[in-house]
């Protein structure tokens, strides 16, 4: 039999548990530093020294954080006959778990600033937001999962060669890493769903639902936007469709993965030489990082 005082104490304790304040696990400030590091390497164009150094940096950081790191290295011969050395990194947490989530981002950056609004298409894209932000987000999630290991399996996939070619003229030379991963999935990596993150650090962040995500995995879109709303981020994750994009999530959808794209495509500096560090913020990374972390924790 419990003494009344103890009963009261237990009631208070369980009430505390139910109303405990949201613990912020993800650090937007640390993630912002991961963008700075990438930009400092220079444009991460496949075959360049900056790309090689950024790849070595990722490899080193992920080995310190994940339970297992799988690297997928191969040579892609482009439409024009160039050979590109490409590498995907798959940082696996709880690799034996059957219940899993997959988060992905591309880590290469674009060789040409060829947006219709670009003032100089001979220059490469610095990729602070395009590529840099998704990588920073995934590294921030890796920090979270290292600190407090997940009860479910999580795979963080860094794909290469997303942004190399022309999306209409040379479709074989874009989305290269996601296509490679789709054809070479590690055994036991089947996930409940997958979320692609790109262009998510814009200072003026507004993330609309993406058209091909709504066609291919509408229930995942609903889950992610609802999770954001529960965190108080309905103003950033706007529950309406806007753009429809050809992106890495489509290569995963083709092999049956429930993949969606979380992307703020209203970014005036997209594919220009002005996609630089002053256009992105840790506060924006914080919002998307909180959502990504909550997606993991809600499945535990
Ligand atoms: Zn791009």
If we measure between CA atoms, which residue out of 160, 31, 171, 53 comes closest to residue 104? Answer: 160
Residue 171 alpha carbon to ligand 1 centre in Å? 14
Per-residue pLDDT of the chain (300 residues; tens, 9 = 90+): 454 444 444 444 444 444 445 679 999 999 999 999 999 999 999 999 999 999 999 999 999 999 999 999 999 999 999 999 999 999 999 999 999 999 999 999 999 999 988 888 889 999 999 999 999 999 999 999 999 999 999 999 999 999 999 999 999 999 999 999 999 999 999 999 999 999 999 999 999 999 999 999 999 999 999 999 999 999 999 999 999 999 999 999 999 999 999 999 999 999 999 999 999 999 999 999 999 999 999 999
State the distance from the centre of ligand 1 to the C-alpha of 219, rounded, in angstroms.
26
Distance 251 CA to ligand 1 centre (A): 16
Q: With the CA atoms of 88, 102, 290 and 17 taken in that order, what torsion angle do they form, in degrees rounded to the nearest 10?
A: -140
What is the model's pTM? 0.92
CA of 187 to the centre of ligand 1 (A): 30
Taking the centre of ligand 1 as the mean of its atom positions, its distance from the CA of residue 233, in whole angstroms, is 25
Q: How far is the CA of 184 from the centre of ligand 1 (A)?
A: 24
Sheet holding 194-198, edge to edge: 68-77, 83-93, 153-159, 100-106, 194-198, 259-263
- The closest alpha carbon to 275, from 45, 43, 106, 46, belongs to 43
């Amino acid at each position: 039999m419990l003494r009344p005082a103890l009963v009261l104490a237990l009631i208070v304790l369980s009430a505390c548990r139910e109303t405990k304040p949201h613990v912020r696990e993800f650090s937007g400030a640390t993630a912002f530093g991961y963008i700075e590091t990438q930009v400092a390497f220079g444009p991460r164009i496949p075959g360049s020294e900056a790309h090689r150094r950024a790849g070595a940096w990722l490899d080193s950081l992920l080995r310190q954080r994940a339970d297992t790191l799988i690297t997928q290295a191969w040579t892609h011969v482009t439409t024009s006959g160039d050979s590109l050395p490409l590498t995907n990194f798959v940082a696996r947490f709880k690799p034996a778990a059957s219940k899993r989530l997959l988060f992905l981002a591309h880590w290469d950056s674009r060789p040409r600033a060829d947006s219709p609004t670009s003032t100089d298409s001979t220059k490469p894209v610095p990729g602070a937001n395009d590529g840099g932000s998704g990588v920073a987000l995934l590294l921030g999630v890796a920090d979270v999962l290292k600190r407090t290991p997940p009860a479910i399996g999580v795979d963080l996939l860094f794909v290469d060669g997303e942004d190399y070619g022309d999306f209409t003229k040379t479709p074989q030379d874009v989305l290269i890493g996601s296509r490679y991963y789709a054809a070479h999935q590690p055994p036991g990596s089947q996930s409940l769903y997958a979320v692609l993150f790109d262009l998510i650090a814009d200072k003026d962040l507004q993330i609309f639902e993406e058209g091909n995500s709504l066609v291919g995995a509408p229930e995942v879109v609903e889950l992610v936007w609802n999770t954001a709303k529960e965190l108080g981020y309905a103003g950033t994750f706007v529950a309406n469709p806007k753009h429809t994009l050809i992106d890495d999530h489509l290569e995963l959808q083709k092999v049956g993965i429930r993949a969606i794209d979380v992307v703020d495509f209203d970014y005036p500096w997209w594919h220009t030489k002005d996609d630089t560090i002053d256009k992105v913020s840790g506060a924006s990374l914080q919002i998307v990082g909180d959502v990504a972390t909550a997606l993991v924790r809600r499945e535990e």
